[in-house]
Structure formats: C-alpha cells, structure tokens
A and B are shown apart, each in its own frame.
Chain A
Amino acid sequence: MADAVVTLDQLTGWVRRFNDLVIKNQAELTELDSAIGDADHGINMARGMSAVINKLAGDPPSQVNELCKTVAMTLVTSVGGASGPLYGTFFLRFAGAAGPATELDAEALDMALRAGLTGIVERGKAAPGDKTMVDALSPAVDAMELVIKNGGDLVAAVAAAREAAAAGRDSTVPLVARKGRASYLGERSAGHMDPGAASMSLLFDALAAELGH
C-alpha cells in the first residue's frame, strides 16, 4: 500500500540522504562549477549539509517547520556561496508552508515544495531556461502537481518529480546561462550542465529514495 503521508522522520531521512548524495557527488558538483562557475559548489554544499547533519543531531526537531528552518539557517551560515541564501530561502519557505506539522500528505508536500520554488525564484530572480537550479526544481514541482491532480498518490508524485528534476537538470546542458556566475561566461556556458540544477536533482533523488523508490 502506498504511503498517504510523509512523516517528520522520513523528511529528516530525506535531509540525511541529500547530505549523503551531496558528499558522494561533491567532486562532480565542483567540477561542473569549475567549468561555468567559481569551482566551489560541491565543496560548499558538502560543508553546508554536513553542518546541517551535525546541527540536527545535536538538536532534533519535533516538527516539520523546525526541521526545515534548521536546515535553512544552517545552510545560510555555513555554505558561504550563493547556494546558501538560495537553498536557505527554499527551506525557509518550505518550513513556512509546512507549518508545525509532524507529517505532510501529498498536497501539503507539494505546496511546501511550491513555496520553496517561489522563494528561490523571488530570491534569485531566475526563470526556467536561465540555466539554474530552477530548471530542475520548477519541472519537478509541476510534475508532482500533475500526478496529484490526476489522482496519483504521494509516492507516484515524488517519483514523477524526481524524473522531471533529472530531465530538467539535463536540459541545462545546451543552455546559455542568464543568471549567476555562469552568466558572466555568456555563450561559453553552453555545453555544460548547471551545477545548481545538478544539486537540486539530488534533492529529489533523496526524497524519492526515502520513500522507497
């Protein structure tokens, strides 16, 4: 039977798996960032997520908004680069939308992810096609909403989100960057995957893995 909700424990597991994936793919993320950025995305995200795991271990949250606010503020203070305020804003808005809950159903999870997307778009002013993490996040949230609207369950919705995030990440390869450090390269940014989109797709890989996919 498919899960109807994702619990606080599972969301905490999501964060742990994201940390694991970021550390595992740290070198690749940094290599992507070397081509079109300042060569620190993997290092920054690994440092940030490690700090998150330490913080959560010392101060386990009892509600979803507490969990995500801790993730947000720890990333903001420990990442250092642009991903700090961007992922920080994502998790802060997620926290705000999720509220003092201990579990989220499909709609609530979708709304929280949508709030996170809106936050990143407002913060970074990027639109789909600008070659940023939004190119992975936006299709993921759209895909999830479509499955829910068509009566699909939470696991199916998250699986669809993961597929869409991966496709969105891949779609950044030929794009010319219009935002962020890569935009300074102009046409030379084409032909390289965006590192922010790559890390964002890991976030959905982690969520899908936590729900058993």
Chain B
Amino acid sequence: MSPAAPAWPTRPSSWRCRWLHGPAPRIEIAAGAEDDRLGTDAVRVAEAIVAADDGAGVVVIMDLGSAVLSAELAVDLVPDQGIKIRLVSAAFVEGIFTAVVAAAGGAALDVVARDAEEALYAKSTQLRQRQTSTADAVPDLSAGGIVATATIINPDGIHARPAALIVGATCLTRCAGHDRHRDFAASLSPQSYRVDVAGCSGRRHDQDRGRWLGRDHRG
C-alpha cells in the first residue's frame, strides 16, 4: 500500500474514477501505519480486504518493502479464509489503473490479477521496443461454450481512455439471460496498441456472439 501522505484519500468515497466506463469496483485503501505514519499495518490491510470483497475476490496491489510483508501477513489475518485474495506483483500505478479497468469491465479475479501484473509492458515496450508479449490474450473459458476473439488494432496506438471505453462498452454487453454468468474477459492489454476482447459463454451464445462481433472493430 502506498506510503501515507496528507493528500492521500483514506476513504474510497473520495475517489472519482472519471476514466471508468462502468460501475467502479470496490476500492479500499490501507496506506500508512498508526497515526498515518509512513509504513504499513497488516491489520488495516486485512480489514481493507474484507471491506473490498463482494464475493468475486480481491486483488491487492502494494508498493514496496514492508507493504509486501504486511499484505502477506494480512492474508493470514483475514478472518474469513474463504475470501479469494490475489497479491499481485504489479507496478503500483500502472497495476492499479489496469486492475480497476479490468474489474470494472467484469473480468474475473485471475484476469484482473494477470492484467495488473503485466501492466508495465506498455511502458517497457515504449522504452525498449520489445516486440513480443508474454500476455495470453485469450482467457481460459474451459467450461465450454464458444470463444470468440476480436483484436482491435489502431496503428497509431490506442490511448488509455479509448482503451477503457472499448473495454467498458464490450464488457457491459450482456449475454441474453446470462448477466450473472457472463465470462467476458476484456483486458486492457499491456501492449497499449491493442485491446483484446474475448469470450462469452452461455446458452444463447450464438446470438450474443453475433451481436458483439457485429460491432465495428475498425480502429
């Protein structure tokens, strides 16, 4: 969790996710130690994990040093050991941004975690001209159904806000009669030149597939 600073919001209601295009996921902050000193408090982190969970699990993003140890201890301290928790080794800023976008888009816990971990890729690609991605663009939908993938490419690059728009627009499309079990996994790809949107499984997937594949994907 980030070192405490006087301007750092301590309650999620003071967050304004203006760049989100969908319902914001629960975000809890557990920054600072007692009296908002620099440092971390595993008990605070555990309380934040419990507060953040709404059944789908919690991704925990931390900065460095004691934050990592506190997050690991917090997992042991959480009273409900049924809460699914993923401690993510993500770049702090990029990881938070990517995780929030993915979660707002309805991505499953492990997809959110994966995307956050790979969030630094855009910057490293820009700076080092790396050509290949280690990201697996297609999430595992091994439960069955049809998996369809669309790759939206803009040769000029897709900036973060438009990428978030695409993710939000696609993920908020409901599978008819299956809004509970939608398995959309739209990831804000770490490459930042493409947004990968994949998946929808359900009984009426053929119609749903047709519906979202019918969108204009030209960049």
Interfacial residues, chain A to chain B (CB-CB below 8 A): 44, 73, 76-82, 84-86, 88-89, 123-124, 181
Contact = CB atoms under 8 A, between A and B. Distances in A.
Given A85-B72, A89-B73, A80 B66 contact: yes
B176 interface: no
B70 interface: yes
Interface of B: 33-34, 37-44, 65-66, 69-70, 72-73
Interface centre among A44, A80, A86 (most CB of B within 10 A): A80
A84 B66 contact: yes
A200 B72 CA distance: 22
B39 A76 contact: no
Contacts, number: 55
A73 B43 contact: yes
B73 A181 contact: no
Contacts of A78: 33-34
Nearest to A86: B69
Nearest to B40: A80
Contacts of B65: 81-82, 181
A150 B180 CA distance: 65
Contacts of A84: 33, 39-42, 66, 69-70
Given A78-B33, A80-B34, A84-B33, A124 B41 contact: no
A53 B37 CA distance: 20
Nearest to B70: A85
Contacts of B66: 80-82, 84-85
A76 B43 contact: yes
28 contacts: A44-B39, A73-B43, A76-B41, A76-B70, A76-B73, A77-B34, A77-B42, A77-B43, A77-B44, A79-B39, A80-B34, A80-B37, A80-B66, A81-B66, A82-B66, A82-B69, A84-B33, A84-B39, A84-B42, A84-B70, A85-B40, A85-B42, A85-B69, A85-B73, A88-B42, A123-B72, A123-B73, A181-B65
